[in-house]
Amino acid sequence: MKRFFPLRLLFLLPGIGALLVTLYAQGNPDWTEQVYSRMVYPVLSTAVGFLPSLVRFSVAEWWVALFLLFCFWYVVHCIRRIVVGRGVLSRKAPEASGNLGRGVILYRSVVGALAIASMLYFAFTTLCGLNYYRHTFTSYTGYGVEQSSVEELEQLCVSLAGGLNQTRERLGQDVDLAAFDREDFDQCAQDSVSAIRTLAEQYPVLERPLYSEPKPVALSGLMSDAGIAGIFFPFTMESNVNDDIPLFTIPSTMTHELAHQCGFMREDEANFIAYLACKQADDPLARYSGQYLAFVHSVSALRKVDSEAASGVLSGLSLTVQYDMAENDRFWDEHEGAITEISNAANDTYLKANSQADGVSSYGRMVDLLLAEQRASSAGSSRGEG
């Protein structure tokens, strides 16, 4: 019986428990928000992230490398036991039980793999997965998402374009914002944490005991080929950032990953939080980065519904902003390939598995949030004038 019911079967129970809790969280966002996201997650994430936060290199990279090596060893070890080993059930009569023994080894190997997957799923669910089912960040902003007209979208794009032109001029028209050194990265990391802390004063839901500074990734070239600018790694609570990407996109990437660290896992909301954090930052580079993030999403949405209006908005950008945009496009075009397609497919599957199918059929969820902010600002200005 021990051969068919090994102890490793017990490791399937945490995964099953995590699945049941996830299903409960999906149907009970109030419980998810108040119990898990506001009480359990801040304490647990701080405890897990404390030691990795003490070093400047990405612990996540080593974690992934060691795990992949373990998986390779496990597969080779299991195959060797099945193919090379005699795979017997009984030492007394090996000639009569060899085939059955190999079947048991295969069975136990599969159970072992499922046990590993179960524990990973349990850890993921415990460390961040339930945050996908919490209340949306919009519930803390005081305004809601609704359908918007093309005119409102065009107005948003024009406003963002004006902000880009002004901020880029302040940075210096002859300053290259594509290349940078390690000192630039470290300064951006510190500034991004400061920006999130400042935003948390307005939205206390973003407060947490520990903000782990974003870290550069040694294998940034591979991340570029995969089309990834940054990634939040819940098993070490690190915000990992590709340090090959153009400099002016790094602050918004960092604050995006920090938004995940603060417990907001939806990509659209992390983008919006990044925009808000960069928008009120003292550093003009951070403001430019946030404006650029918002503009690219907004003008892309406008191009889908009114390409002529989008062209008009793009032509209103200063030559320097247009150059920055072209440099960013060139960078990602150079790295586009099979790895990018595989990465995009995997990310799409991951997001859908965590209930991030687009629920608002309009301009894209981040743009809807930007439009909601624009309406709230306009309403506030109207009340002020009255």
H or E segment and range at residue 166: helix 150-171
pLDDT tens-digit profile, the chain (386 residues)? 455 566 788 899 999 999 999 999 999 999 999 999 999 999 999 999 999 999 999 999 999 999 999 999 999 998 888 887 554 444 444 444 445 577 788 888 899 999 999 999 999 999 999 999 999 898 898 887 788 889 999 999 999 999 999 999 999 877 778 776 667 888 999 999 999 999 999 999 999 999 999 999 999 999 999 889 999 999 999 999 999 999 999 999 999 999 999 999 988 899 999 999 999 998 999 999 999 999 999 999 999 999 999 999 999 999 999 999 999 999 999 987 655 556 455 545 544 555 555 433 334 688 989 999 988 887 655 555 44
Which residue type is seen at 224? S
DSSP state of 306: -
Rounded distance between C-alpha atoms, residue 144 and residue 139, angstroms = 7
pLDDT of residue 339: 56
pLDDT of residue 7: 77
**What are the structure tokens assigned to 26, written together?**
């999906």
Is the Cα dihedral 91, 92, 94, 99 positive or negative? negative
Rounded distance between C-alpha atoms, residue 240 and residue 212, angstroms = 10
Check if the beta carbon of residue 113 is closer than 8 Å to that of residue 6. Answer: no
pLDDT of residue 8: 80
pLDDT of residue 184: 80
pLDDT of residue 45: 94
pLDDT of residue 386: 46
Chain-centre distance of CA 383, in angstroms? Answer: 37
359, with CB counted inside 10 A (0-12, 13-18, 19+), is exposed
Instruction: Catalogue the E-assigned strands of 90-227.
Output: 215-216
pLDDT of residue 91: 46
pLDDT of residue 381: 53
pLDDT of residue 113: 93
Dihedral, CA of residue 352, residue 354, residue 357 and residue 358, to nearest 10: -140
Q: What is the CA radius of gyration of the chain?
A: 25
Rounded distance between C-alpha atoms, residue 266 and residue 232, angstroms = 12
- For residue 28, CA distances in Å to 21, 134, 265 come to 10, 9, 17
Rounded distance between C-alpha atoms, residue 56 and residue 312, angstroms = 44
pLDDT of residue 361: 33
Rounded distance between C-alpha atoms, residue 315 and residue 165, angstroms = 12
pLDDT of residue 95: 43
This prediction has a pTM of: 0.86
